[in-house]
Amino acid sequence: MLTSGDVVYADLGEPIGREAGFRRPVVVVTAQVVLAQGPNVVHVVPLTSTRRGFRSEIDIDPDETNGLDSSSAAQCQHLRAVATERLGDPLGHVGPATLVQIRETIADLLDV
């Protein structure tokens, strides 16, 4: 079962314009109470190794917990709802502090 904060590979498909796309790691940001119900669609934030300096990006360094191979940025501006069939097995977990940062940035982007 997926948990909030999991890092998994996702097939985001062919991008249009500056969308995040292709197969890449993402962070699952759907609330745990929703994930416990086994949804068919979850919300994810794509990761990239290309930093653009946007305030909407959260830096994540690789460690033994998150399973990343290189320094990455969570692209909160690219929040996506994706079918769970697009997701692979978890690589790791970003941890509660990083998950809070990502969620707070999303809240700021959505003005909630």
Name residue, tokens 């305030």.
55
pLDDT exceeds cutoff 90 at 53? no
Residues 6+ apart with CB under 8 A from 42: 2, 28, 30, 34, 35, 81, 82, 84, 87
Q: Is residue 68 part of a domain?
A: yes
Residue 107 is predicted with a pLDDT of 98
Residue 29 is predicted with a pLDDT of 98
Residue 33 is predicted with a pLDDT of 98
Residues 6+ apart with CB under 8 A from 14: 21, 22
Check: CB of residue 47 under 8 Å from CB of residue 76.
Answer: no
Query: In the numeric block, which tokens belong to residue 29?
Result: 């940001």
C-alpha to C-alpha distance for 46 and 57, rounded to whole angstroms: 10
Residue 35 banded pLDDT, cuts 50, 70, 90? very high
Residue 54 DSSP symbol: -
Q: Per the structure, how many domains does the chain have? A: 1
- What range defines the domain where residue 86 resides? 6-107
Q: Mean pLDDT, the chain, as a whole number?
A: 96
Q: Is residue 40 part of a domain?
A: yes
Residue 1 is predicted with a pLDDT of 87
What are the pLDDT digits (tens) for 70-111?
999 999 999 999 999 999 999 999 999 999 999 999 999 999
pTM: 0.95
Give the CATH number, domain containing residue 48: 2.30.30.110
